[in-house]
Structure 1
Amino acid sequence: MGNPSKITEGGMVYSLGEFDGKQVEYDFSKVLTYMEAKGKLLFGRNFRLYHEDHKVLLKLCNYMVRDRTSCLEQGIDPDKGILLSGPVGCGKTTLMKLIRHITPHYKPYKVIPARNIVFGFNHVGHRIIEDYGNGQYFCFDDIGVEQMGRHFGKDCNVIGEILLSRHELFLESGLRTHATTNLNAEELEERYGKRVRSRMRELFNLVAFDQNAQDKRGTKNTDKK
């Protein structure tokens, strides 16, 4: 496995903590330094992390590195997925794309916009639901504001159906699913119904930005949802 506490980016080696040969003792300040550097490579030189978001970042970091003790102290079940919520522009999509890079020794998830999945359903039908209800790792981005799917004249709540399938996978094999949303719990229930909302509680840990979190898109950081 090598040393998972060290990551090389752009010819520089970043240390995320201390590795004793069995596990890494992560240093949050070092992880943030690496994330700043990786963020600039991914999203452009204007990217930066915000001090106001450190509470959310700490939860996400502890979750990604599987620090079970810290997760439980913060009310996070490390065996569930993450539902990252917050207002438009606060940085949800960017963080979910970025945070997976601090643990390159784990299998990464793919970040897929919910609207793209619905577009796919409109073209090919229920095969799309099967494609995303499988054993791969996904983060469904911006759920709850996508259009209703429609194929051959029949409407389908595509993301709702996929979440039901992912819940079954979670119960069968522990496969985790992640998502981002601008909506609150009541809005999600209105969009997907009580049954799906109930499954979402079992499927996800809710990690939320403050509702007054600033819109960071004006800073020219790429893809700040």
Structure 2
Amino acid sequence: MIKIQPHIIQEGSVQFQLGELTGNKISYNFPKILIYLEAKGKLLFGKNFKIYSEDEAILYKLCIYFIRDFETCKKLEIDPNKGILLSGPVGCGKTSLMKLLPHIVPHQIKHIVIPARNITFNFNKSGFKIIEDYGNSGFYCFDDLGVETTGRHFGKDCNVMGEILLSRHDLFLKRKLRTHATTNLNAQELENRYGNRVRSRMRQLFNLIAFDRECIDKRK
């Protein structure tokens, strides 16, 4: 019988041990997780990827959430049953982190990261079926929420992502299926974009984890 060890991850010839397994419980080590994240980030995004020390507080919250450390989540007022809304300025690394972090928990189902603008483009071609496709099933992280254009199909305008978020809220209530998202917008801008009704449901859907608005643009 093969012993499952999700806390030990093999990348090529290098083995990363992210914690200790006692019985069926893993005690994760945050500094070791950071070492792995930087190594995996370089594999996924190129040799210039790095973990910045100023981002470690944000990363700690995200890691606690992804490893399902319910006790620490409670202390940090993070609801592990909700999704993550990761907000921050352009270039702070939101998308990279939401693609990277699931790799620390290879035994869990991974979300699919998809740009919100792509969903709107698909709506323009295929219509309301797209809202059903993304609103009624699946485990998604909607990337760059709020910067997509208004959808238009056969002359009818539609706030596509707003409608999808309403459907995802129903899905959350019925099946506890989580939704993640990244955004450059603040709470007021999101409300202006999607309306009070959607913004209210977003509070129930998401834990808000936010980069500092003065965070550097790591793409430069």
Classify the TM-score, shorter chain: over 0.9
* Structure 1 Cα separation of the partners of residues 72 and 9 of structure 2: 23
* Structure 2 Cα separation of the partners of residues 124 and 140 of structure 1: 19
Match of 1:117 among 112, 119, 128: 119
Matches within 5 A, 1:1-225: 2-218=4-220
The DSSP-based 3-state class of the residue aligned with 1:112 is strand
* Structure 2 Cα separation of the partners of residues 155 and 100 of structure 1: 35
- Using the TM superposition, give the Cα deviation of residue 23 of structure 1 relative to its aligned residue in structure 2, in angstroms: 1.1
TM-score, structure 1 as length reference: 0.96
TM-score, structure 2 as length reference: 0.98
**CA-to-aligned-CA distance 1:76-107 (integer Å, 9 cap, x gap):** 00100000000111000010000111001000
Identity percentage over the alignment?
Answer: 64
* Structure 2 Cα separation of the partners of residues 135 and 103 of structure 1: 22
- Using the TM superposition, give the Cα deviation of residue 12 of structure 1 relative to its aligned residue in structure 2, in angstroms: 1.1
Specify every segment of 5 or more residues in structure 1 that has no aligned partner in the other structure, as ranges.
219-225
**CA-to-aligned-CA distance 1:121-143 (integer Å, 9 cap, x gap):** 00000010011012211000000
**CA-to-aligned-CA distance 1:46-82 (integer Å, 9 cap, x gap):** 1101000000000000000000111111110010000
The DSSP-based 3-state class of the residue aligned with 2:79 is coil
Determine the structure 2 residue equivalent to 1:221. none
- Using the TM superposition, give the Cα deviation of residue 21 of structure 1 relative to its aligned residue in structure 2, in angstroms: 2.7
Higher relative contact order (CA 8 A, sep 6+): 1
**CA-to-aligned-CA distance 1:166-218 (integer Å, 9 cap, x gap):** 00010001100000000000000000000000000000000000111100001
